Structure 1
C-alpha cells in the first residue's frame, strides 16, 4: 500500500507534465494568407540534420538505440531501425496529411500552385513504461514556396513542441507517440492557415 501512493503521484505528475506542453506556431517571414483560398497543396517532408532526444544527430540516436536493443536480443536493433525510418512514410506523414487536409479542405496534389515543405529538426521520442511516461513531441520549420519556382518563398515559420501523446495509455509504441505529434502539427498548422 505504501508503494501504490508514490506510484500514483509519479503517474499523475508525468501526465500533468505532458499536458503542460503547448504547441506554438510562428510565422517568421511572409504570410500564410495566400493559402486560404487554395483547393490544392503539395506537401513535402524532410528530416535532414534532425536531432533526437539528448542526441545532437539522428545517426547517434540510432546507433545508441540499436546497441541497447541488440544487447537484449541480437538483430532487434536492425528491425527497430527499419521501422524508425519506415514510420515516416507509413505513419507520420499520413497523419499530418490527414488532419491538415481535413482542417484546410485542401487536397494534396504534386502539381498544386504552392508547396509546403515541413522539415522536422527535433524529435523527442518520449516513453511509456506503464507507471511512468514522457510524451513525445516534435519541433519543425515550414516553408511555403511556389511549386513552379521554389526560389519564390511565400512564408516561413516554426512549430515548437507539437505534442505526441494518447490519453488512454496505448502509446507504448514510439511510432504511435511520434505519429500523434505529426497529427497535432498538421491540425494546428491547418487551423493557422484557415
Structure 2
C-alpha cells in the first residue's frame, strides 16, 4: 500500500511539472471583480519559435522546403500560418473563455472598443508540434495576458505570463498543426477564465 501511495504521489508531482505555468507580473486577479464584459485583442510581436532565431527565419525555411516539394505550396502554407490566427485560433479562445461563465456572466469580444476594459493576449512563443502516428508532440504556447482600461492603457489591472500551455486533439486525432495550436489557445483561455472565476467572483 505504501508503495502504491508513493507511486501515485510521484505521478502527481510529475504531472504538475508538465502543467502550464502562471506568473502574475503586475496587478492581481481580484482587481477584475465585477467586470463582466471585455474588449479582446491579440498581438504577435516578435513571436519566438523554438530552435529558430526568429519567426521570419522559421517561415523562410518552411516556405523553401515546401516550395521544393511543390511549386506554390510554400506560399500557400505561409498564408495559412497567418490566416489561422483570426480564422481558427482566436475564435477558439473566445469560445473557450465565454463558455466558462454561466448565463454570460463574463464575456470577451473582439473589436468591441466601447467596452471599458480590454484583455490583450500577446502570443510570445508558438510551437506547432507534430503527429506522425507513433511519434507526436503537443503544440505549445507562451503568452502574456494584460487587462487594462480601454481608453487609458497605462491603467493596468492585471498582467500575467503563461508558459507550457499545451494543445492536442482528443484521443490524439490532431494530425494538422492548426488543430493542435487551436487546442492550445482553448487551454490558455480555459486556464485564464478559471482563475478569474476563482479570484474575482
TM range (shorter): 0.7 to 0.9
Count of matched residue pairs: 178
1:90 aligns with 2:87: yes
1:157 match: 160
Runs of 4+ in 1 over 6 A off after TM superposition: 17-20
1:138 aligns with 2:175: no
1:80 match: 77
2:189 match: 186
User: Could you tell me the TM-score, scaled by structure 2's length?
Assistant: 0.83
User: Could you tell me the TM-score, scaled by structure 1's length?
Assistant: 0.86
Structure 1 residues 29, 22: CA separation in 2 closer, same or farther (over 3 Å shift)?
A: same
Contact 1:120–1:138 (CA under 8 A) maintained in structure 2: yes
For the residue of structure 1 that corresponds to 2:99, the secondary structure is helix
Contact 1:103–1:191 (CA under 8 A) maintained in structure 2: yes
Aligned Cα root-mean-square deviation (Å) = 1.8
Report how far residue 19 of structure 1 moved. 10
1:39 match: 36
Deviations 1:120-176 (A, max 9, x none): 110111001111001101001111110111111111110111111113232111111
Report how far residue 179 of structure 1 moved. 0.6
Unpaired runs of 5+ in structure 1?
1-16
